[in-house]
Structure formats: C-alpha cells, structure tokens
Amino acid sequence: MTTNQPRMVTSAERLRRLLALVPYVAARRAVGLAEAAETFGMTERELIDDLNLAWCVELKAPEPYCPIDLSYEDGEITISQAESIARPLRLAADEASALLVALRMLAEAGGGGSAVARLIAKIEAAAGAAGAPSSQVTVKIESPNVPGVSATLATALSAGRRVHLRHYAWRRDEETERDVDPMRLLVVEGRTYLEGWCRRAEGVRLFRLDRVLAVEVLDLPAEVPEEAEERDVDAGLFRPSDSDVRVELDLAPDARWIAESYPCESVTPLGEGWLRVVLRTPDTSLVRRLALRLGENARVASPAALAAEVREAAAAALALYE
Amino acid sequence: MSKRRTERLLSIVVLLLSSRRYLTAEQIRAAVIGYPEQDEAFKRMFERDKEELRDLGIPLETGRANPIDDEIGYRIRRQDYELPEIHLEPDEAAVLGIASRVWQSAELAGAAAGALLKLKAASLELDDGDDGAASSSWSRGIQPRLTTQEPAFGPLWEAVRDRRPVTFDHLASGRSEVTRRTLEPWGVVNRRGRWYVAGYDRARNAPRVFRMSRIAGPVRLAGPPGSVTVPDGTDVSELVKDWDRTPARDRTAVLRVREHAGVILRKWARETAPEPGQSGWDRITVSFADVGWYAEYLASFGPDLVVLDPPDLREALISRLKGCL
C-alpha cells in the first residue's frame, strides 16, 4: 500500500493539508520540522514548500496585506499570525463517518474500554451534521463460539500472561494444544484472531477465535521474543509462500462462493458460468476437503495426484455405506 | 500550476473568513492574486474554484452582496467553518489512534487520516496519543480492521452518503447471467467480513439486499443528491441479517464418526458415545437445519464419517460423494 514514489498532490489535497497544518503549528508555541513532517506524512522538503506557500499568501485589496506570518529556523517552525485560519476546518462527511464507523466497530469488538463511548459522543458533537451519514454504515462482527474467549484473551494480554490454547485446525480436522504468548487481538474480515508467539511452532501465528475450543491463562509471564514481528494483516491474512502447492480447481456456478471466500491467485471464466481458480496452499488437505464438499460442482484440474486423492477419499467414504 | 491554484484557493478562504459581508466575485477578484484579466477566463476559473472549495467541505455561502441591487456575493461564516473546541482525555486520544487505523481501503482510510490531522490541529492532547498508543496498554486490546476489496464499495458509499439512487449489474448466486438493478440505497452493512448494500429495488418494488462482491461492472448514479428517502425505522443491518439468516436447526442427525475426527462436530454435538461393537468409532447426535447444505458440509469429512439417520440426509450425502468420482 505504501510506495516510495513521490506523490502527486492535487491543489485541493494540498489546500486541505495546509488548512490543518497552519492551525496545528499555530496552536503550539513551536513545532519541530521533523515532527510536523512525520505527523502530516510528508518530507521536510514538502513541508517547507507548504510553509512557503502559506507565507506567500497576499491579499491586495482593500490594502495589500499578508495574513499569515511564520518562520522556520533551527529545525523549528513558529506561526505568529494565522488570522482567520487559526482553527482547523470542520470534519467533512467522509472524515466524520470514517472515524465514527471505526469507533463503533471497536466498541462492537469489545475494545477501547470506557473511552470509546466518551470519544464517540465528543466526535459526534464536533462533527454535527457531517456525522449523520455514518449511521448508514453498520459493521457486525462474528462473535466467537466460546463465550468469554475474547474477554479471557484480553485479560491475558493486558496482564502480559502466557495462555494455553486448545485449537481446531479445520483443514486437517484436528485438535491441537499449544502455549501461546499473546501479542494482540485483531478483527479482520469480520472475524476475531489472536496473534501470538506460538511456543510449539516457535513462530508468530494467528488463531481464529471461533476455532478456539478452550483457553486457560497460565501463571507465567508472556515472553514474546525480539524477533517476533506483527504480521502485516493489512496486506491480507494469507500470504502464499514458495513452498505452497499450486492447485487448479474448476468451479460450477453453485460453487462460485469459493472464489469469494478463499484467496485465489487467479480466476478465469470457463464458460457456462464455470470458473477456474488457482489457489496456493501449504497443505492440500484443505483443497481435498473442499472438493469432497463441493461434489459434482468442483473438479481438481491439477495436480493429478490431488485429484486422485479426492476420488479415493470419496470411494472410501461410499464403501462405508455398502 | 498547482501551487498557484492552492495559493489562490487559500487566499479566498482567508479573505472570505475575515469578512462579515458577502463579497462579490469582482471584490474577490480585486483582492486575490492570480486571476486572469480576461472576464470570461476569470468567470470559468472562479466557478471551478468555488466548486473545489465546496468539495473540500468549506461552507461557502451565497447571498445578496448589498441591499440595493441583486448581485450575488460570497462569504464563509466562521462558526460554520471552524471545528468546535474538543478536549480529549489521554485514554480517548489513544483510542482515537486505534480507530484512525481501522480502515484499510483507499476511500475511507484517507478520510480517517484527514480527520485525525484536523483533530490534532485542534487538540494538543493528541500529541502523544497516536504514536504513544502503540506502546500503551490500550493498543494491546483489540485492533479491528475494515477492508473494502469490493470495487462497488466506493460509489455505493457515496450514493448512500448523498442519498442518490444507483444502477448496477448483479450476478445472483448460482446464475451465469447478470441482471440490471436500480436501487435506492438505504445503507451499507459489513457482516461476517462481507459488504452488502440494502435499499429499495425499484423494479422489484420491494426492499432488497445485494452482496457487493456480486455486483459486476460499474455502479452508476441514477438521480440527484437527496432524492432517496430512508423510511423511518429502517434497520439495514436487520435486513441483511434476515437475508443472510441461518435457518433454525430443528432436525436431528445421528452420525458415526472416527475417533479423533470431527472435532468441530463433537463441539456442537448433543450426545457423543462410543459406537457399540465398532471399535475406533463414536456415535454423535447433532442438530441441523438444511439437508442439502448439511450433506455438503458432512461430505468434507470423507471416510471419517457415516450418516446413520435420517435417510434423506444419508441419500444426499451419498449423491454428493458420487459426484466426486
């Protein structure tokens, strides 16, 4: 999502930024150039260009006059006069709604403590009418199956304690047990996950809360190693690795939901509503289970060994009815 | 080019905010540097500038510039322009930091970041709130993320926000042909990580729910802003919930499941016991709703599971498995 390319900023975006930058500096006695640049997500060079622009604003009637007076030296900016733009512009409908929807989602997820409700009230009051469209966006989060799992994990996180998890691995239809040092709770694509350092796998793992069968807070401190890095979930939960198996799966119209529910490398129409999808998976048992489930609505096109495995599993299952 | 334009727009904002009176286009032209000599060119440029200022959310008001003639003037009322005073407690500042990172989509992530900057400009309490949040105990709570991979999200949000009807092509589940729909959108809903739009379908004459990922091609606006009325008492999330309803599990199935397999079935089981006379197998009694759906689901367990009862579920499972051969 982030690039190192120089950004093209339109005059409108630049004006929007200036109308926040000027009051930001004006409200503070002095602001470090580096700090202001970081806050506004720009380089110091871009920041100085913006400051120069504001400083150059001149009204020529009725009397010639420069409304904004500022200076920057020794890495510090001061604004001695900002006149009518000393206060920031009101929140726009998109801005107010983006924040309010996010805050309500945080509250729905059970995060943020008592501050969320107070903050929602303050933002609503400050936004006025601009906050109204936010009521037309609703986010519902799937609640975990085990009551209290999320609350127990939140407690373990804030107390910095290790947990013992019984967890269900769907793709292998297996129950696993492990000790985990919790790092954070995430809600991604409507589901809640625990991210933590798994002491069994010795790596960072994500656990879907609706697949946690039991959780126990241990009387041990969580010890997340230095090398443990939070996963960049914003780039997607599933990241294919080179060792993954590439699977081609043909889907009938009734099985189209697979293409929406699983990350596919490619989706190609085959005619008559059929699709060919390419999936990458570290474990073909996931695809085997999917293919069994989909019956005549899916065909494993490759690898051939996996297609054979699906047929054999179906034949073995049918033999149990003879 | 862009720099001059920004300078000009900033000058207009400063000028109009400082004036109590409505200023005419000519008065603005006289005060602001950068407008052309030629009248037609000035008019065009001034029109574009006004539009751009309004797009940014600047409350540019029009009124009669003086009581004698009808000439139109412009002003920006300070109380309409300025963000009201807002004071945040340290925990609120930390929560704001978390909230500002929730949106992952281009449309609203930028809006959330813009809002945060305005609030920072208004409130010194936010100086360590945002970055401090990363290390404070607050961020060790829950961190929600909202993504909008569906291309329809952007235009549908704008339509909902501005209360405008839309048309789009929709591919219903299990179909291979799209149908054109005209919708008065009432709201957007994210449920189980998926985005939906709910509203009044003009052709069907009834409320309808559409999953955004099933919308093919562009979403087009089909009416002016403000032309959609959301009926009083409408709860769009209830509409989506009804549409996506899980039917009641009012039927009972008896299954034979291999020991150690079917972990999730056991979790929901009403009864689990060793299968008499069949070592290595358990007998599990579960509730289910829909034969077709449940047979599909059970098929994924392959040779680790046998349906003993009811017969229709057993037949549905057998035919599903035969489809794999």
- B195 forms beta bridges with B190
**Are residues A186 and A249 both part of a single domain?**
no
A70, A97: one domain: no
- Token pair 């999200």 in the structure block, residue: B153
Which of B49, B61, B75, B117 to mutate to probe the A interface, most A CBs <10 Å? B117
Same-domain pairing of A308 and A249: yes
For residue B150, the distance in angstroms to the closest alpha carbon of chain A comes to 10
Q: Which residue has the higher pLDDT, A229 or A278?
A: A278
Residues 6+ apart with CB under 8 A from A58: A64, A65, A66, B11, B33
Q: How many domains does chain A have?
A: 4
Please, which pLDDT band fits residue A235 given cuts at 50, 70 and 90?
low
Domain membership flag for residue A224 = yes
Contact A84 B17 (CB under 8 A): yes
Whether residue A255 is predicted with pLDDT greater than 90 in this model: the reply is no
pLDDT of residue B128 exceeding 50: yes
Q: Where are the beta strands (DSSP E) in A92-210?
A: 137-140, 161-169, 174-188, 191-198, 203-208
Mean local confidence (pLDDT), A92-120: 90
Q: What is the pLDDT of residue A36?
A: 92
Question: Which parts of chain B fold into alpha helices (H)?
Answer: 2-18, 25-31, 39-55, 78-81, 90-99, 106-122, 129-135, 153-162, 236-243, 263-268, 291-299, 311-322
A243 CA to chain B: closest CA distance, Å? 25
Question: Do residue A290 and residue B83 have CB atoms under 8 angstroms apart?
Answer: no
Query: Does residue A258 lie within any of the structural domains?
Result: yes
Is the pLDDT at B131 greater than 50? The verdict is no
Calpha distance B128→B251 (Å, rounded) = 56
How distant, in Å, are the alpha carbons of A264, A303, B118, B192 from that of A255?
Answer: 14, 20, 47, 19
Which DSSP letter does residue A34 get? H
Query: Is residue A2 in a domain?
Result: no
Residues in B closer than 8 angstroms to A300, CB to CB, are: none
Give residue B174's pLDDT: 67
A232 touches chain B (CB under 8 A): no
Cβ B324–A60 below 8 Å, yes or no? no
Structure-block tokens of residue B107: 């449309």
A18 and A78 together in one domain: yes
Other beta carbons less than 10 A from residue A168's beta carbon: 20
Domain contains A1: no
Distance between CA atoms of residues A20 and A90, nearest Å: 10
Per-residue confidence (pLDDT) for residue B135, from 0 to 100: 43
Last residue of a domain, one of A234, A257, A276: A234
Q: Is residue A227, in this structure, part of any structural domain at all?
A: yes
Provide the CATH number for the domain around residue A190: 2.30.30
Please state the pTM of the whole predicted model: 0.82
Which neighbouring-strand residues pair with A69? A81
CATH code of the domain containing A55: 1.10.10.10
Query: Does any CB of chain B come closer than 8 Å to the CB of residue A4?
Result: no
Last residue of a domain, one of A234, A259, A287: A234
DSSP state of A59: B
Tokens read off for B168: 């789009």
User: What order do you get walking across the sheet with A245-251 strand by strand?
Assistant: A266-271, A274-281, A245-251, A298-302
Place of tokens 């403590």: A113
Cis peptide before A64, with omega less than 30 degrees from 0? Answer: no
- Cβ neighbours, 10 Å, residue B166: 25
Distance (Å) from the C-alpha of residue B81 to the closest C-alpha of chain A? 6
Identify the domain containing residue A310 by its residue range: 245-319
A2-11, A17-26, A28-37, B46-55, range with the lowest pLDDT: A2-11
| ipTM, two decimals | 0.83
CB contact under 8 A, A12 and B320: no
